[in-house]
Structure 1
Amino acid sequence: MPKPQRTGHKVALGVDWGLNTLLSAGVSRLHPDGKITAAGAGGQFRAAGILAKQHRLRNLSERLHAKADQYARLADSTLDGKAATLAQEIRRVSERRSNLNDALAWAGARWAVDQAVAAGATVIYLEDLRSMEADGMGRTHNTRMSQTVRGQIADRIRHLAAETGIAVVTVPPRNTSKHCPCCLTPLRHRKAPDRPTVPGWTWAICPRCGWQGDRDQGAWRRIAARGLAHQTKTIADRASGTMVIRAVVDVMEAKAVIATTPKTSRSDRSKTSPTRPRTNRLTPRRREVPSPARPSGRAGQRPEGHAPTDRTRLPRAAHRHQSVTTISTPTTGRHRPRGAALGAGFHLHAHASPPRWAIPVPDLTVRMGSLS
């Protein structure tokens, strides 16, 4: 296996232990002029399903231990059988948690090493886990940190990275999520990008340079830039043999920033070509006349359409609230517009029939008596 190098790295993978995700990682490059740039937006290793299962097993284990302690306090000989069964169940739950943590550690480590191999990175920078604390974060964050087996993941990453000669170096985690990766200004943490005034820990906004992004995405940029800037301070731990950067030097930290590419904008917006012709036809083709509004009461019969072909005799016009004007001129020959005279619809030489909910037109010729 190739031996990993301590210095001389140009491409590095920064890995952050995420608050909302298990791992957040991205690639940074060190250019000959000393500038550090981020290659892409990075990625995240999400394990929400496994973490939820871990949480359920943890709650189950706590309940079983509480019940076992209660049996021990009672000191009743009749409960010895139940206590033995309970102890066996506790061992089974512990084995399930151990197997799940081991599988999660291998999966997370394999993902991180694959990211480094695909990007051609020669070093992976991790945060130092000994200073991972959760002051003021609440019970939820403390539980997540205690059950995500970060120590096992770091050991698996070193094991897999040694096969390809990639160095794994731990860096101090001070202010990696607090300061901006582009200008080292303290960030303002908010609830979400669409809620910039609600305090939270998910979204970070820089008040100076305007950078904003996920809190974990900014952290891996800071970790990778710090590692590349302090790679001459990399030493090997005598106790564990791992590579580590002990402290942060202010002069080197000032260079550990991600250089941003200036946005190119078109200053001259004068017209240089003819305007593209636009068609007036609607796409897709729609009705130009809107449909009538639906009545507020009970829906009636739909407007009349084609006459049904399965009827031997069409209904009378009086039953369809037709006006007396729904007639047609009789013709000679084979064509007899019988449907129009009896109110079959507007397609047979007649006016359109009103809907059922419309007020019928009064027939003025009904019950007209003689003037004499």
Structure 2
Amino acid sequence: MVEKTGEVLSAASLAQRVGWAADLVSGMAADLLGAHWNTADVDLLASGVDGAGRRLPSNAWMALRRLGWSTTPAEGVRVNDRIVRMAQEQAGRLLRSVKWRADLTAGVIGSWPAEPLRRTLDEWAAVRAAVRDGRDLPSSAIRSRTRQIAAFARRHGRLPTDVFELEAVPRAARMLLLSACDGQQASLVRADDPGRALLRLQLPTCPAPRSYRDWTWVACPLTLPPTVPPVAGLHLPTLRVHHGRVHADLAYTHAVPTAPRTGHTIALGVDWGLNTLLSAGAVRLHSNGTITALGSGAQFRAAGVLAKQHRLRREGEHLHTKADHYQRLINDTDSHRLTGKHAVLAEEIRRVSDRRSNLN
């Protein structure tokens, strides 16, 4: 409901307004990512200190402001400072997360083997030594990064300089990270019913607001899932639009009793693997010091899902190979007879990608 006028918004209208705000945020976040998608800036952000040697704040948007990395909306568009905060928070999180991939890529490039897909024992030792904490790094992570670098080398005839040449600037998601805001942009309070809460936030009334009059307060009731305790402290959620509806990813905090360090008589062990995703078992410690198993344990096997995932991966690789071959034959000719078939393949590739994402 629009608080000023009392107008009741439908789910579609609310999704539209949230989408307009998310577009403004993602646009500014994309500008920030494009401006700082390089080794020097990512290393500076990951160092945890600014140019004056002061420790950077833990909040990504505050860290970016300390470094002087700011952004503005398109010309003529008016947004408040909290909208800019959300863009900085999203860009800062993405820039912080790329540091691990940058170090891994640098280590793999710096110890590039003679045969990328057939490393010797010495070459495996060299790449693990070149990567931070490489001794405990799964081999699959090194292999996948090696395949990515090898594909770049085949296309360009040389190795990439770093991960920022290897990977394009990531896409800024259409979402609102309300955790970066304060009461001037959004607030969340519990209702009388313990299973409900009220989210108030400012949303635009048009895609390109020209003044603050184009922003209004909207009250959105939330139905809390039963997993949220009645006494839990609620935090501002992340809003995203999915299939025409607004979804709120809600975080909450609640107190739990302190677990004693000693005196336990039952233990639960859980292990994960590749063929059997999870295996678990419980044991009991008796007064005479003996340990006995409780039941036969449990397993979670994902063989069927994994088989389908591998089939879709092979199908996607086949479609990509065929589409690349068509593209080479077309060679930027709009009237080529294979243009239509290439468009059909591109659409099928998108559908397979969506199915794989949904399966994950």
Q: TM-score, normalised by structure 2?
A: 0.25
**Bigger share in helix:** 2
Q: TM-score, normalised by structure 1?
A: 0.24
